[in-house]
Amino acid sequence: MVDFNKLIDAYLARESYCKKIGRYYPSEIGSCLRKIWYSYKKPKPTDTELIRIFEAGNMLHTFITEVIKSEKNPEVKLLQSEMPVKFQEKDFIISGRVDNLILVEIENKKVLVEIKSCKYLPTDFKKEHAMQLQLYMHFTGIYNGILLYIQKDNLQTTCFDIIYNPEEVREILKRFHSLHLFLVNDKIPEAEAKLDPDKVWMCEKCPWKDECENDKELNKMY
């Protein structure tokens, strides 16, 4: 019998690449700082299960784009999808193609919509998702943002207006600076997610769980 799982994995297989210190990705900065650090210092190929999850998310983003583009919904207009983002800081660059971000027009107003697929609709937005959107608003100069969550199994949605906050953006940029310094100085950041009850869920599927456990002595240094 044909193994369809194998076919899917073969289809989705991508060449892994090494990340370059000095080039950072807006979609990652809400994640555990130590985890991002490992992804530069001890890269690993992306787990096939995770690749499938990303792909399922991409399909839903395409679906939402089609919904917005449809003539059946004249009250919204799609202006741009898969937006490239580039921001030069003194010592590094923040860039990437953001494929879950679209620019729409609603009531003559430009709005950035960040689409997140999820298992269950949340009652509130996740801080790390809002972080990304704050950055996108800052980079694009479009200060109206919506975080849209779509449930994978029934296509129900919920959304949250995100208000641009320059103070929050300054804090996020500080995180990039701090990541850059940890990387260039070859110093490991603290196990951020483990130490924060709101972020500890990130450890569950972290590919560097073992390394992080072995490096736990280093936590005491910070």
CB closer to ligand SF4 out of 41 and 110: 41
CB of 191 to ligand SF4, least distance (A): 4
Could you tell me if 33 and 179 are in contact, meaning their C-beta atoms sit under 8 angstroms apart? yes
209 binding ligand SF4? (CB under 6 A)? yes
Q: Which of residues 83 and 193 has its CB atom nearest to ligand SF4 in the complex?
A: 193
Q: Pull the structure tokens for residue 43.
A: 């890269």
Nearer to ligand SF4, 38 or 92 (CB): 38
Return the number of the residue (111 or 202) whose C-beta is nearest ligand SF4: 202
CB of 11 to ligand SF4, least distance (A): 29
Nearer to ligand SF4 by C-beta: 139 or 208?
208
In the complex, what is the shortest distance from the CB of residue 63 to ligand SF4, in angstroms, rounded to a whole number? 30
Binding mask 21-40 for ligand SF4 (x = CB under 6 A): -----------x-xx--x--
Report 153-192 residues binding ligand SF4 (CB under 6 A).
Answer: 191-192
Per-position DSSP letters for the chain, written without gaps between them: ---HHHHHHHHH-----PPPTTEE-GGGTTS-HHHHHHHHHS--PPPHHHHHHHHHHHHHHHHHHHHHHSTT-TTEEEEEEEEEEEEE-SS-EEEEEEEEEEEEEETTEEEEEEEEEESS--SS--HHHHHHHHHHHHHHT--EEEEEEEETTT--EEEEEEE--HHHHHHHHHHHHHHHHHHHTT-PPP-HHHH-TTTGGGGTT-TTHHHHHHTGGGGGG-
Beta bridge partners of 24: 94
CB nearer to ligand SF4: pick between 146 and 202: 202
Instruction: By CB under 6 A, name the one of 29, 68, 146, 206 that touches ligand SF4.
Output: 206
d(CA 119, CA 41): 31
Applying CB under 6 A, does 102 fall inside the site for ligand SF4? no
Q: How far is the CB of 185 from ligand SF4 (least distance, A)?
A: 18
List interacting residues with ligand SF4 (CB under 6 A). Answer: 32, 34-35, 38, 191-194, 202-203, 206, 208-209, 212
